[in-house]
Structure 1
Amino acid sequence: MPSQAAQQPTLSGQCVALLPLQAEHRQALLEAAADGELWNLKFTVVPGTETVDAYIATALRGREQGTVMPFVIVRREDGKVIGSTRFWKLDRVNRKLEIGHTWLSESAQRSGANTEAKFLLLSHAFEVLDMVRVQFTTDELNEKSRAAILRLGAQQEGIVRHERIMPDGRKRNSVRFSIIDPEWPDVRARLLQRMAR
């Protein structure tokens, strides 16, 4: 039987490709995160030198268990790793998953990379995995992320209080969003328009 890594596809667009995360991506992830010192962000968890091994191990363990598909985001023009993202909370019985753990090097932000990466993930979720629900969760304090998720066409569902404890001990309230299968054609059309611009 093929390994979970072998079953995880590479998703390719015009600007970026999403490759299955491997242990060998350790140094490339650290370099991507160093662009903006993203490990200092208070509302998301980005790997630094102290945490990268556990970050990768957790992702790969989730893939082996069939609940996570972790990716590195690679800029196609130069093959450079510029971030990471994943499907997680993958529930094939109820046909739902969450897109999360997404971060991009500071220099890759506002470049179109995030929009295309989300388009690739959403297309795969709805059109290949046949999901009926894709959800997103972000920190209540992360205004940029909240605005970006709404721009995708997701609907805000509510705030989950004290949803997780952050590395600094803060009890995080999280905002939950979703896109459901009947909404996907409109979301898809809007994303294609945005990417064409």
Structure 2
Amino acid sequence: MTSILNQYQQPVGAPVPGWTPRAQPRRQPIEGRYCRLEALDPQRHAADLYAAYSQAPDERDWTYLSTGPFADADAYRAYAERAAVSSDPLHYVVIERKSGNAVGTLALMRIDPVNGVIEVGFVTFSPLLKRTPVSSEAQYLLMKHVFDELGYRRYEWKCDSLNAPSRQAAARLGFQFEGIFRQAVVYKGRSRDTAWFAIIDGDWPPLRAAFETWLAPENFDADGLQRLSLTQIRTTQAAGG
């Protein structure tokens, strides 16, 4: 990066002309081809979500989350009622279009409109959602909302540094690894070193194009299997293909 020098010949950051604080995320639905994101509503979503999470054979999906696992449907509903009234984190439900069922949640959090920074977190995808086009599209729809509709500059992903699946997911989705914050969090009685990842607005246009290519119907065969992976598409893009 070329340094910009001020009147004292000190290097300073690039100017951001016309910058104004960004809007807060909205609770309105976000529509996609395979899914729809809706603000969490316990009356409409809690039963579906608990049923979807109960498809897992064990409780390992909750290990690296600050919430859960939940003993029963009532315990999950009580959590959902608390989460639904929060504006930060702002929890979204992933509705699979094919079934009409709620199959997972994710949230926008640590919302900083003044600096245009926002984080995606509380990603809690059920077995009905994992490794499906719905899973990737849900992430894409929230990114698109943040960058294209709200105009934020930076989109973060943070996780326990020991959470290998989360780190792999971040890399696949196009987040760039930025480092480890040691002893950043205490949760569930444990110390957490936090791995930081981010996408910035300059990263977004080619990443958006890769998602749109991957999500296109022609990228899936008759059995719903991908022809090209998102990583393959991004690699081809980077090579100028």
Q: How many matched pairs? A: 187
Percent identity between the aligned chains? 29
1:54 Cα deviation from its structure 2 partner: 5.2
* 2:133 aligned partner, one-letter code: G
What is the aligned counterpart of 2:121 among 94, 100, 115? Answer: 100
1:85 equivalent in alignment to 2:109: no
Which segment drifts farther, 125-134 or 24-33? Answer: 24-33
Which residue of the partner structure matches residue 27 of structure 2?
Answer: 8
Change (3 A) 1:186 1:172: same
Change (3 A) 1:99 1:32: same
* Residue pair 1:163, 1:172 contacting (<8 A) in 2 also: yes
Partners of 2:169 and 2:204 in 1: how far apart?
17
> Any gaps of 5 or more consecutive residues in structure 1?
1-6
Give TM-score scaled by structure 2 length.
Answer: 0.71
What is the aligned counterpart of 2:38 among 19, 24, 27? Answer: 19
* Residue pair 1:87, 1:98 contacting (<8 A) in 2 also: yes
Change (3 A) 1:60 1:38: farther
Q: What whole-Å deviation, never above 9, does each CA across 1:163-189 have from its counterpart, x for those lacking one?
A: 22232x121212110011111101111
Alignment RMSD: 1.9
1:69 Cα deviation from its structure 2 partner: 2.2
Local SS of the residue matching 1:107? coil
Q: Which has the larger radius of gyration?
A: 2
Which residue of the partner structure matches residue 237 of structure 2?
Answer: none
Which residue of the partner structure matches residue 178 of structure 1?
Answer: 198
Which residue of the partner structure matches residue 222 of structure 2?
Answer: none
1:34 equivalent in alignment to 2:54: yes
Which residue of the partner structure matches residue 136 of structure 1?
Answer: 157
Give TM-score scaled by structure 1 length.
Answer: 0.86
Partners of 2:131 and 2:215 in 1: how far apart?
12
Say which structure, 1 or 2, has more relative contact order (CA 8 Å, 6+ apart).
1
* Residue pair 2:47, 2:77 contacting (<8 A) in 1 also: no
Change (3 A) 1:186 1:116: same
Change (3 A) 1:75 1:106: same
